[in-house]
Chain A
Amino acid sequence: MGMVKVRNVSRRFVKDKDTSTLALDNVSLEIDDKEFVCFIGPSGCGKTTLLRIMSGLDLPDEGEVYLDGKVIKGPGPDRGMVFQEYSLFPWKTVTDNVIFGPVMRGIKKKDALVDAEKYLELVGLTQFRNSYPYELSGGMKQRVAIARALANEPSVLLMDEPFGALDAQTRNILQQELLEIWQKKNITILFVTHSVDEAVFLADKIVLMSARPGKIKEIIPVEFPRPRERTSLETNVLRDRILKTLIKEQTK
């Protein structure tokens, strides 16, 4: 199960006595099991902060986040995370990166290696199992990062602009692959992005956030059937609407 409930979460970053930013202001949100949710908003709207709070890497000043009814107090293997920066351990081979989580949880290395093969197959990188990260392209690195996060069998996958640093073609391919993985693994995916195109292509539900203080401005359900057309009329109408709202937010 992967039901996430965010209740009245606020987070303030204090720089010194006088300057502080309210990154999240009383945010509440419910996410269903197996839902694909994209968070979008102008930079500084707290979307990454919200994701980090859900991962447990950051803690809210007020409010709580629940996963399947349990309060999140810190990072845990039930929530996988893929970062925007390349986060593979450069001193480990692809396989060793993938088995890191399972081995940390106490699974025997032999069994973890068998599982790792399964996840590498899922992202189509079995022939690179013994490569070091420096030998991989950006897209391949993020594929391995996804495999590594999935190897812990999380119920929620948190993704913080994972394709932000990739070129447009690679990004499109990876979006398609991610949807296939999501359908196969039946997990909840929470995906932070700054690309409207990406959000409209991927999400069941788009959470539009506004900046300073970070609040949820609007929740837009996307009910187009999959596979989606990137350039169909209805897609473009929705993109246009979201873009206009974002511009209004940015110039506010």
Chain B
Amino acid sequence: MIKKHLQELTEKSVGLMSVFSSAIRNKSMEIISIFAAILLWEIIAVYFVQNKFFLPSFTDVTFAFVDVLSRDAQLSILGIDFQFPVLVMDILARFGIITGPDIRLPVLVIDLIYSLMHFLIGLVSALLIGIPVGMIMGWFRTIDRLVDPLIEIIRPIPPLAWIPFAIIWIGLNPFAAGFVIFIGAVFPIIINTFTGFKSVSRVYVEAAKVLGCNKDHELIRYVALPSALPSIAAGIRIAMGVGWMCLVAAEMFGVSRYGLGYKIWHHYYLHNMDLVLVYMIILGFLGLLIDRLLRYYIDGRLLKWRKGVVI
């Protein structure tokens, strides 16, 4: 009895092990590539460059990373100091987790919150303005002719060129950074929504008309919008990429005391090049993560009727 049970258990664990090892084997090339790059970096930094300022090594960066994680600061956004609700504070204080009512978080986490805030301000406003504008331009020919020349003139201006006006119009606050990200993100959204609406297949519109869906707003809502969704989703992905690129520059001119992009500049002034590299790597990973999450959501939920088609 026990023997049999043990045998089952070993079989199970062997099964689990083989899943792990097969995953490692399947991804072996990728894993080797990353480890080799890290090793090469470490060797070059330690033995050849031998200058922490010029090229911090992998170990320097790891220690710097632990450092920014271990230092904490008060979470305050737009001048508001965040505090725990009294009830939560009582419970946490009883267990000795906190000593005061202030919400204190690792510096890196606060930087992250600030950057995501800037990013979301820009992206959400770009979605709120870009999608309706693209829809109306795609559906009504006259409006397209009126608006298109303006867009074509404004669009080639690099988003970063708007920074002076962003400061003058909005001031040194998170919304100025959001504005720069908005400029970067809104055009891909407008153009892809427009293209999606322009390429709605005629047969879908006619089928809807024959079925009794005749008014413009109904056709837009029930036919054009779902049909254009793959194109809009692709636009949002491009917009998020461009917006993420604008984030660093938008934060560099000092709209907030925190933020991943701001900290790159800040630590450069302090000659903490290892920290500069920490924030650079985090920006890279975060951009990747956001893109993957969006892709997972769009392909798995919104566009599951399009299986097998790659966007």
Residues of A with Cβ closer than 8 Å to B?
Answer: 55-57, 74-77, 79-81, 83, 85-92, 100-101, 104-105, 132-134, 148-149, 152
Q: B210 contacts A55, CB within 8 Å? A: yes
Residue B249 is within 8 A (CB to CB) of chain A in the complex: no
Q: Is B208 an interface residue (CB 8 A)?
A: yes
A81 close to B207 (CB less than 8 A): yes
Q: Which of B215-240 contact A (CB under 8 A)?
A: 218, 222-223, 226-227, 229
B residues touching A (Cβ–Cβ < 8 Å)? 203-204, 206-214, 218, 222-223, 226-227, 229, 304-308
Evaluate contact between A77 and B212: CB separation under 8 angstroms.
yes
Nearest A-chain residue to B303, judged by Cβ: A91
A-B contact pairs, 19 of them (CB 8 A): A56-B209, A57-B206, A74-B214, A80-B210, A81-B210, A83-B203, A85-B203, A87-B204, A87-B206, A87-B207, A88-B207, A89-B226, A91-B227, A100-B208, A105-B212, A133-B305, A134-B306, A148-B211, A152-B212
In whole angstroms, how far apart are the Cα atoms of A81 and B222 in the complex?
18
Bound Cα distance A134, B223 (Å): 17
Is B226 touching A91 in the complex (CB atoms < 8 A)?
A: yes
Residues of B within 8 A of A134 (CB): 305-308
**Which residues of chain A are near B306, meaning CB under 8 Å?**
90-91, 134
For B209, the chain A residues whose CB sits under 8 A away are 56-57, 75
Within 8 Å by CB of A79, from B206, B210, B304, B307, lies B210
User: Across the interface, which residues of B come within 8 angstroms of A88, CB to CB?
Assistant: 207
Q: Name which residue of chain A comes closest to B210, CB basis.
A: A81
B208 touches A91 (CB 8 A): no
Name the A residues within 8 Å of B208 (CB-CB).
Answer: 89, 100, 104
Check B223 against A75 for contact (C-beta < 8 Å): no
* Chain B residue at smallest Cβ distance from A145: B207
Whether A100 touches B213, Cβ cut-off 8 Å, given contacts A85-B203, A87-B204, is: yes
